[in-house]
Amino acid sequence: MYAFIVRRLLATIPVLGMVALFVFLMLRLTPGDPAAVLAGDNATYEQIEGIRIQLGLDKPIYEQLVVWVGKLLQGDLGQSFYFKKQVTELIGLRVEPTLSLAIVTLIITIVVAVPLGVLAAYRHDSWIDRLVMGFSVMGFSVPVFVLGYLLIYIFAVELRWFPVQGYKSITDGFWPFLHRLILPGLTLSVIYIALIARITRASVLEVLGEDYIRTAYAKGLSNRVVLMRHALRNAAVPIVTIIGIGIALLIGGVVVTESVYNIPGLGRLTVDAVLGRDYPTIQAVVLVFSFVYVLINLLIDLAYTILDPRIRY
């Protein structure tokens, strides 16, 4: 087990290296000049060139890559062109809102989606099953930003149950912190509830046809015990897999949701950095997201051995 963990962690190094190289080249080969953005509309050619020299953008791409990799190996993510701060400081300030939103979204998703999927499988071909499947189709069809503005209009503007936008740190109190995350969490969780409920239904429905399920019923076990202890546990591997895949989708959804609800997290930082052509910040945020995704996949692989003792590495 420990050897597997070490191998997987070492395997993340070339993956992150390829991601970093791709992002580095993509940013610099796309049209646009960060020096012109920073200088403003009324800047002269000489002023723009001065900013380019100051930022090191006048050097060839390979020299910029060597300098950036050298700093990266020393733990230096560089200084933001746009925000005029160290990138590590910027990320440190923005991690809490994004992490809080992701945790609230995952809790809402798992608490709602897994029981819905199990219920749909148990009531196969009933109106409950059709209702859950209809919700799944709707969840995939409605864009996150459309759902966000709809929920803001209903629950924030009309009913005034939640604030329209903004974020409160948990240090300001748990309820103010949670109150401002419920609506963004609901917005972001709809697509994942649809995805996980659908996969849970399919997995549990397949397991319900197995012989050991009929044996459990023959022993006189209740529906709750059969569904939770036997069916759901044996169907857990594909469900956990899709939760891990959903986290990758969650990264993209965070960018849109934080922009809609004006949450100062990593997603909003990414949008601001892209608009400002802030190379160091974009590269650092992408690396952080990539590392989190790789780490989540590692944890999912390790969870397989707990859920199914037959799986060994």
pLDDT on residue 312: 61
Is residue 31 very low, low, confident or very high in pLDDT (cuts 50, 70, 90)?
Answer: low
Same domain, 183 and 47: no
pLDDT on residue 149: 85
Task: For the chain, give the percent of residues with pLDDT over 90.
Answer: 0
Among 2, 13, 7, 8, CA closest to 290: 13
Residue 21 lies in a domain: yes
Same domain, 56 and 186: no
pLDDT on residue 40: 65
Which of 2-16, 61-75, 181-195 is most confident?
181-195
Same domain, 208 and 264: yes
Supply the CATH number for residue 276's domain.
1.10.3720.10
Chain segment 190-226, per-residue pLDDT in tens: 888 888 888 888 887 877 777 777 777 777 777 777 7
pLDDT on residue 237: 76
- Which has the higher per-residue pLDDT, 21 or 107? 107
Is 80 exceeded by the pLDDT of residue 134?
A: yes
pLDDT on residue 220: 73
Mean pLDDT, the chain, whole residue set: 78
Q: What average pLDDT does this structure show over 103-131? A: 84
Is 60 exceeded by the pLDDT of residue 313?
A: no
Is residue 10 very low, low, confident or very high in pLDDT (cuts 50, 70, 90)?
Answer: confident
pLDDT on residue 171: 82
Q: Which residues of 9-48 are buried (b: 16+ CB within 10 A; e: fewer)?
A: eeebeeebeebbeebbeebeeeeeebbbbbbeeebeeeeb
Q: Residue 215: CB partners within 8 Å, gap ≥ 6?
A: none
Same domain, 64 and 166: no
Same domain, 48 and 122: no
Same domain, 29 and 149: no
Same domain, 137 and 262: yes
Is residue 55 very low, low, confident or very high in pLDDT (cuts 50, 70, 90)?
Answer: low
Number of domains in the chain: 2
User: Whole domain around residue 232: which residue ranges?
Assistant: 94-307
Residue 172 lies in a domain: yes
Same domain, 68 and 128: no
Chain segment 291-308, per-residue pLDDT in tens: 887 778 777 777 777 766
Chain segment 151-181, per-residue pLDDT in tens: 888 888 888 888 888 888 888 888 888 888 8
Residue 174 lies in a domain: yes
Residue 114 lies in a domain: yes
Residue 80 lies in a domain: no
pLDDT on residue 34: 66
Same domain, 28 and 134: no
Is residue 94 very low, low, confident or very high in pLDDT (cuts 50, 70, 90)?
Answer: confident
End-to-end CA distance of the chain: 6
The pair of structure tokens assigned to 129 is 């099953």
Chain segment 271-281, per-residue pLDDT in tens: 888 777 777 88
